[in-house]
Structure 1
Amino acid sequence: MRVPTARAQDVGTEKYRVGHGTLVPMPMKSPTVRHRRLGRELRRLREEAGLSTNEAALRLGWSLSKVHRAEGGRIMVSETDLTHACDLFGADSYTKGGLIQLARDANRRGWWTAYSDVFTGNYVALEAEATAIRTWETAVIPGLLQSEDYAREVIRARHPDLSAGELKRRVDARMVRKINVVGSTAPTLHALIDEAAIRRPVDSPDTMDRQLGDLLQVMEWPHITVQILPFSAGAHPGMEGAFSVLHFDPEDPAVGYVESPAGEVYVEAADQVRNLILLFERLAGACLSPEESAALIAAVRSKA
């Protein structure tokens, strides 16, 4: 019987895919915060034990690729594998218990898993654990700040072939995401928005009135900062496209994110993330102040 090559299976707490008749750990598009933290701890323990990746792979019975992906946080490590690794590396019981709990937390289902048909990457998992989010948008109001009617029209324009039910599900997912990420326990959000996004009519004047009104309301919240990049800024460093940078607790490196019609790109190399942060800061310096931005939004709304 022919074995499928892309079917996912669950074995214990670790996800696998079937390939060439064998089970291999299933990689993630980008590691979540807890998986990255777990991977760093595994690497630290291995290095303190004086073992190379080749030696660790041989003694654990893992492939070399599995060691690299586990240390990079790119596969879900089972508790059994984690226990064996901790024993090999000489971790004390306190450290082992902490890493096992971290693995359990990393593999716990988040709110977004109910919308796994909508959220196909790991961005929302990273976003849910961020302490600060910086985002630059060139053409639309950022998804986290969209009103329901506005979101519906944006999604409909991007996916014109969706059925009514599919469209509703995507809108619901975006609104649930907004509630979970922009609520009272939310991270700080600093959004830079091109003036074109607040002036572009989406659907009816009522839709834009509600959207701009919602935007003005959230701008009063202490953890949200919105700045508009005016047309008068002319050529600017953000003309090549939108991007986001997610910041976490000090021990967890920031992650950059770029989405395009061709797919998602996660930027994790320290120098590249630093360049995105510098780019964001230059853009923020070219934007209107939050107060001036609110005045411009209010003026545009009055004419919508």
Structure 2
Amino acid sequence: MPTLRRRRLGGTLRQYRKDAGLSLEAAARSMGWPESKLSRIETANARMLPKDIAPLLKQYGVTDEEVIAALAALAKDAGKQGWWQGFGDVVGANYKDYLSLESDADKIHVYAPNLIPGLLQTGPYAREIIAATAITRTPEEVIALAEVRKTRQAILTNPTRSGGPLTYWAVIHEAVLHQSFASNGNLMVQQLQHLLDMADSPNITIQVMPLGATPHPGMLGLFEVVRFPQPWPTVVNLENIRGGYFVEGTDDVKVFETAFDHVIAAALTPEISRETIKDTMQKIMEERKDK
């Protein structure tokens, strides 16, 4: 199956060709290629050589050096498999696609009304949440998926990552801070402390949506706005009990970008959010002490 990077490259080249008003036959002829070769590149069934990116884009009237460099880099990496391939079939096809998007992103904005977002979860919290939500998974698969989640989190701190650590903005509902776990009474205290620690990072912003918040678009559920360097368009990830799916297209994505603006406006400021997390953690600790 073609990688997501190869599919994104092929789709982008196809769009540039159409924007230039060229047929598949005419574009291929301008490169001295058979029509079938360009067709297979656009449908992600053939490799595009990085050296051919600039000449092809020139036929389409695209001369922006940043665009050319970005597409050439994607062509170079299009066939590479991500680190998650080592987990085999435990990671489903949709999840693999999301991990590929996440690894290429430079910014992610997420509203999480029912759980701590995956990139901010501790190991014990992740295992409990995955066990409770991935109801068809075996105990061994739950452990493996928790390890995948832990490995993902490196993008928040890895200074050698292309473009530097991911810029991450999470809005978490206040009710999530009060989750309890019968197997580990200290689990939520550890998780809340982890949120405070992560919020100290300059690339991470955490806001709390208060219980008494005014109505806002996030009331309809979790969503993630995944942004990339130019020329790649923004993608929105939506999740349900069967996994995630993507929203693409400028108009549809713009709705979610605007929705996130409304969400952060309804949430507590990062400073007040930090105090709210601290206060909640303290209350949990005092309640456990009294038991």
The bucket for the TM-score relative to the shorter chain is: 0.7 to 0.9
Cα gap change, 1:45 to 1:57, in 2 (>3 Å) = closer
Q: Report the TM-score, using the length of structure 1 for normalisation.
A: 0.75
Greater relative CO, 1 or 2 (CA 8 Å, sep 6+): 2
Which digits, 9 at most, give the CA deviation of each residue in 1:186-222, with x for residues without a partner?
A: 2100001111111121343211111001011000110
Q: CA deviation at 1:252?
A: 1.5
Secondary structure at 2:141's aligned position in 1?
A: helix
SS class of match (1:190): strand
Q: Is the 8 A contact 2:177 2:277 kept in 1?
A: yes
Matches of 2:130 and 2:221, distance apart in 1: 19
Give the gaps of 5 or more residues in structure 1: 1-14, 16-25
1:19 corresponds to: none
- Matching residue within 16, 22, 35 for 1:44: 16
Query: For residues 116 and 280 of structure 1, do their structure 2 counterparts lie closer, same or farther at Cα, with a shift above 3 Å needed?
Result: farther
Q: Does 1:280 align with 2:260?
A: yes
- Verify the 8 A CA contact 2:207 2:270 in the aligned structure 1: yes
Q: Which residue of 1 aligns with 2:44?
A: 75
TM-score, normalization by structure 2:
0.78
CA positional deviation for 1:102: 3.6
CA contact (8 A) 2:235 2:248 kept: yes
Counterpart residue type for residue 75 of structure 1: A
Report what 2:110 is aligned to: 135
In the alignment, structure 1 residue 202 sits paired with structure 2 residue 176: no
Count the aligned residue pairs. Answer: 267
What code does the residue aligned with 2:178 have?
R
Cα drift, residue 279 of structure 1: 0.2
Distance 1:161 1:100, change over 3 A: closer
Distance 1:221 1:111, change over 3 A: same
Conserved? CA contact 1:37–1:252, under 8 Å = no
What does the per-residue CA deviation read over 1:225-266, in whole Å, with 9 as the maximum and x for residues that have no partner?
Answer: 000000111432211110001111132211111011244221
Task: State the partner residue of 1:223.
Answer: 203
Cα distance in 1 for residues equivalent to 2:22 and 2:216: 49
2:128 maps to 153
Normalized per residue, the structure richer in helix is: 2
Q: Deviations over 1:39-95 (max 9, x none)?
A: 4245435765x63246668984539xx94x854xx6353248x96xx78x969xx99
- Going from structure 1 to structure 2, the CA distance change for 1:90 and 1:139 (only over 3 Å counts) comes to closer
Residues 24-173 of structure 1 aligned to structure 2 (within 5 Å):
31-32=4-5, 35-37=7-9, 39-41=11-13, 43-44=15-16, 48=20, 51-53=22-24, 60-62=34-36, 67=39, 71=42, 75-79=44-48, 102-120=74-92, 121=94, 122-160=97-135, 162-173=137-148
Identity %: 30
Contact 1:118-1:173 within 8 A present in 2 as well? no
The 1:108/1:235 distance shift into structure 2, 3 A limit, reads: same
RMSD after superposition: 3.4
Structure 2 CA distance for aligned equivalents of residues 131 and 174 of structure 1? 18
Would the aligned equivalents of 2:17 and 2:27 in 1 still touch at CA under 8 Å?
no
Distance in 1 (CA, whole Å) between partners of 2:222 and 2:130 is: 17
Deviations 1:133-192 (A, max 9, x none): 100101000000000000010011113453332221111111011123444432100001
